[in-house]
Homo-oligomer: A and B are copies of this chain.
């Protein structure tokens, strides 16, 4: 029992995807002392299973050769334990890039899902990403974390976290599960995450609002910086903030309102003007483009635009930027296939 009288339950947790976000999440979950943590690493399996991670973190300090309880090469390997017995996971935490066309989450997590039991935690970008999961496991709790963290991997096994791990978490309520159950499972995960030393982890009632808020950034700075090959400061100094980003933010604001998840009006001004004009930050989609990697275009703009069309919201800037980034995507694919 903890000081508030809650039982300190332990959970079987499987975490998939160890980029900057996922690796710090795995440190948090392991530090909580409440999770038996199995991490699925793909490209980094060989190196990290041998050497562990070297972590340099604003939240957790320096760790050398750090490992979770178990490291496996695939979700299929995570499905059974070292003795070959089936593992029933309480939580599957998905921290991969959201690429529904290349690597859909449903197929990725299927081996570690127990219907009616496993809660899916999506620490991922994008809109509407929970829908496929709920469709595939209609009796399972699905929750999201909308995370703001500055963290990245330096090859081969260094995790550098410069920005604090601040997140909002909450369940996606759906008809297949009692709301009280969804809320309870989400609350337990938040408690575990907080006790692992995350900077801020807030449980919110309407996680969709948090997703739309994050889209104000991801759908605007992230996409237009990528398209224009500009860093944040360049885009601001070019007046692209006024001509493009703010109009796009209002388009997003209008969709979220029409979808029943209104944001405060003041958030547009805040989101547009919070960074200085000499900020040389290069958002993730720009880095993806520059490195010929797939972008999270569909979950960031595509799904929001589907919602806009459904609801009859006018989105001229977003629509055009989405179409232009599809051309970039085509070019990346062409180059990869050479």
Seen from chain A, the residues whose Cβ lies within 8 Å of a Cβ on chain B are 224, 227-228, 230, 234-235, 237-240, 243-244, 316-317, 319-321, 323-324, 326-328, 330-331
Contacts and interface: CB of A to CB of B under 8 A. Distances in A.
A120 B224 CA distance: 42
| Interface secondary structure of A, over-half rule | helix
Given A243-B323, A244-B323, A323-B243, A228 B317 contact: no
A330 B239 contact: yes
A225 to B, nearest CB: 11
B239 A324 contact: no
A337 to B, nearest CB: 13
A154 to B, nearest CB: 30
A324 B238 CA distance: 10
A237 B334 CA distance: 10
Contacts of A238: 326-327, 330-331
A324 B230 CA distance: 12
Contact of A321 (B224, B235, B320, B330): B320
A316 B320 contact: yes
Contact of A235 (B239, B240, B327): B327
A238 B227 CA distance: 15
The 6 residue pairs across chains A and B that have the minimum distance between CB atoms? A316-B316, A320-B320, A238-B330, A243-B323, A238-B327, A240-B327
Contacts of A328: 228
Contacts of A316: 316-317, 319-320
A235 to B, nearest CB: 7
Contacts of A324: 224, 227-228, 240, 244, 324
25 contacts: A224-B324, A227-B324, A228-B324, A228-B328, A230-B331, A235-B327, A237-B330, A238-B326, A238-B327, A238-B330, A239-B326, A239-B327, A239-B330, A240-B323, A240-B327, A243-B326, A243-B327, A244-B320, A244-B327, A316-B316, A317-B320, A317-B323, A320-B320, A320-B321, A324-B324
A135 B4 CA distance: 81
Contacts of A227: 324
A323 B324 CA distance: 13
Given A234-B331, A235-B327, 5 more contacts: A224-B324, A228-B328, A240-B323, A316-B317, A316-B320
A317 B323 CA distance: 10
A232 to B, nearest CB: 13
B320 A228 contact: no
Nearest to A239: B330
A239 B240 CA distance: 26
A325 to B, nearest CB: 10
Contacts of A321: 320
A294 to B, nearest CB: 16
Nearest to A238: B330
